[in-house]
Structure 1
Amino acid sequence: MTRYILLAAALLLSVLAQAQDRTMTAPTGGWNRAGLTDKSQELAKNYPYSLIDRGAQRNRRMITGHLAQASDKRPFPKLVVNGNPTPLYTDADGRYARAYSFGSGSNSVEVRGADGKSVKRVQFYEADRTRPQPVIRVIAAWDDNQAEVDLHVVTPDGQHAFWAHPALTNGGGLDGDTVDGPGPENFMMTAPQRGVYQVWINYWGNFGSSGYHFDESTRQQPIITTRITLVFHENTPRERREEFVVPLRSIGELTLVKTFTF
């Protein structure tokens, strides 16, 4: 009986996937190797690895899709991964691609429209317990698609993770530098050191069709709003998170967001 129920559920998911628009088109065949997946009719393909091949940053997966309308002005649609919302920007054709390093356990990916309503949501369970779990994750996102904003994290041994030095020798590090405005930028450690951590955010400059520049007049708003999320023991019964909203007013501004002891 259980087998027939699972078969019926799979058929229903397939029908629903064909009936919906291509809001979320990949990862093809689902994000995980076991449990619930979001099937598609596309051929399977390999996923790009993170630039940082350490711990939970190994096996980073791309989330790609297509919105009916391009989003380049506030309010933006949102991509919500495991409860962490980030503005979702697209190209002129409405396409987007965002990377995320999923840990084991229950994971979710949701696209919300500019009106805040859910457009599509996928919940899945990653059963691969050999994959290290992020014990500390720091996520930075911002709401101006011209802005080049950088996350900086200083670990207890004095090492400094940022765009020019993403990989630390203590096992922590940043994903690839996000230069096209959307974020998120992620810092993760699977075996964090004991001691004091510092989290900084920097409005480095702007990025446009002609490359990097420092013309503040291209900003969409006088103030850029950044959201920094700290997640501890992600996807476990001990999960705890803190969120901070930090305004950035001028290029070059460097702000200490949080000092915490782990």
Structure 2
Amino acid sequence: MRHPHRICLMLALAGLPALAQEGNALTAPGGGWNRAGLVDKSQELAVNYPYNLIDRGAQRGRRMIEGNLGKAGKKRPFHMLVVNGNPTPLYTDDDGRYARAYAFGSGSNSVEVRTPDGKSLKRVQFYEADRSRPQPVIRVIAAWDDNQAEVDLHVVTPDGQHAFWAHPALTNGGGLDADTVDGPGPENFTMTSPQRGLYQVWINYWGNFGGDGYHFDEATRQRPIITSRITLVFNENTTKERRESFVVPLRRIGELTLVKTFKF
């Protein structure tokens, strides 16, 4: 059962511009040379539409991606956030603000905001200089195109452990490092020292949510079929990086789909 503290919390911030411009569309992270220990503000209070991010222990290495898209940011078609080449729909609060957590690895990283027609609104490239930060070897990203839908990523590791919204941190070092059980996607699973063996990746259309919390009313969907995209990234930020993407249609609440099994 989902907890009552996941009811939508909207925080009003004064002085933010109403329209999206290049200068405020992406305010963090900054470009250039970064060192997480000097710029990481993840412990500070932040707005994370539509719920506050909950750190359950698997998210300590996260950084915040933040900005303001103005009044049009919440309406379809959505802007896109592209992190290290991986695009996901960019949902905002009613005033166009967003804050999204991401666990960047060391080395070169990029963050870009694109308009609904695919034009680059703002892009930053930065180099994470802290070599002590864990480097994701397996990353699984799940995103979808209905901001009223609660869709869950599930990953089963070779030792039988199951990472999902109620159990985000695994004892084998894997977990939902930027889990969005408290809001729309993306769901983001990483492992820095993967076990050898068979992995399973599942996607579940759990339900919908609105101003009164979670519910299971199919009629609130914005389109008959929700499109989810699941991306597997191996050896991120290295010369061995490779990725696979899968598009999975979600037609009804409760639908559970095995997206991919793979051996590592």
TM-score after normalising by structure 2: 0.83
- Contact 1:76–1:88 under 8 Å retained in 2: yes
Please say which structure displays the higher CA radius of gyration: 1
How many angstroms apart in 2 are the aligned matches of 1:228 and 1:45? 27
Residue type matched to 1:46 in 2? K
- Contact 1:71–1:90 under 8 Å retained in 2: yes
Q: Please, which runs of 5 or more residues in structure 2 have no aligned partner?
A: 1-20, 45-53
Q: Identify the residue that residue 235 of structure 2 maps to in structure 1.
A: 233
Q: Identify the residue that residue 51 of structure 1 maps to in structure 2.
A: 55
Residue type matched to 1:154 in 2? V
Q: Deviations over 1:112-162 (max 9, x none)?
A: 011110000000111211111000000000000000000000000111000
Higher alpha-carbon deviation: 127-136 or 195-204: 127-136
Q: Identify the residue that residue 193 of structure 1 maps to in structure 2.
A: 195
Q: Identify the residue that residue 6 of structure 2 maps to in structure 1.
A: none
Q: Identify the residue that residue 105 of structure 1 maps to in structure 2.
A: 107
Q: Please, which runs of 5 or more residues in structure 1 have no aligned partner?
A: 1-18, 35-43
Alignment counterpart, residue 33 of structure 1, candidates 32, 35, 47: 35
Secondary structure at the counterpart of residue 219 of structure 2: helix
How many angstroms apart in 2 are the aligned matches of 1:208 and 1:221? 16
Identity of aligned residues (%): 79
Residue type matched to 1:148 in 2? E
Q: Identify the residue that residue 260 of structure 1 maps to in structure 2.
A: 262
Where in structure 1 do 4 or more consecutive aligned residues deviate above 4 Å?
Answer: 28-31
Q: Identify the residue that residue 11 of structure 2 maps to in structure 1.
A: none
TM-score after normalising by structure 1: 0.83
Alignment counterpart, residue 170 of structure 2, candidates 163, 168, 171: 168
- Contact 2:231–2:246 under 8 Å retained in 1: yes
- Contact 2:175–2:190 under 8 Å retained in 1: yes
Shift in Å, 1:214 = 0.2
Compared CA separation, residues 181 and 222, structure 1 to 2 (3 A): farther
Q: Identify the residue that residue 159 of structure 1 maps to in structure 2.
A: 161
How many angstroms apart in 1 are the aligned matches of 2:73 and 2:114? 12
Which has the higher relative contact order, 1 or 2, with Cα contacts under 8 A spaced 6 or more apart? 2
- Contact 2:81–2:111 under 8 Å retained in 1: yes
Number of equivalences:
234
How many angstroms apart in 2 are the aligned matches of 1:82 and 1:27? 13
1:1-262 mapped onto 2 (5 Å cutoff): 20-27=22-29, 32-33=34-35, 46-48=41-43, 51=55, 53=57, 57-175=59-177, 177-179=179-181, 181-262=183-264
Shift in Å, 1:179 = 4.1
Compared CA separation, residues 239 and 113, structure 1 to 2 (3 A): same
How many angstroms apart in 2 are the aligned matches of 1:180 and 1:52? 12
Secondary structure at the counterpart of residue 22 of structure 1: helix
Compared CA separation, residues 168 and 209, structure 1 to 2 (3 A): same
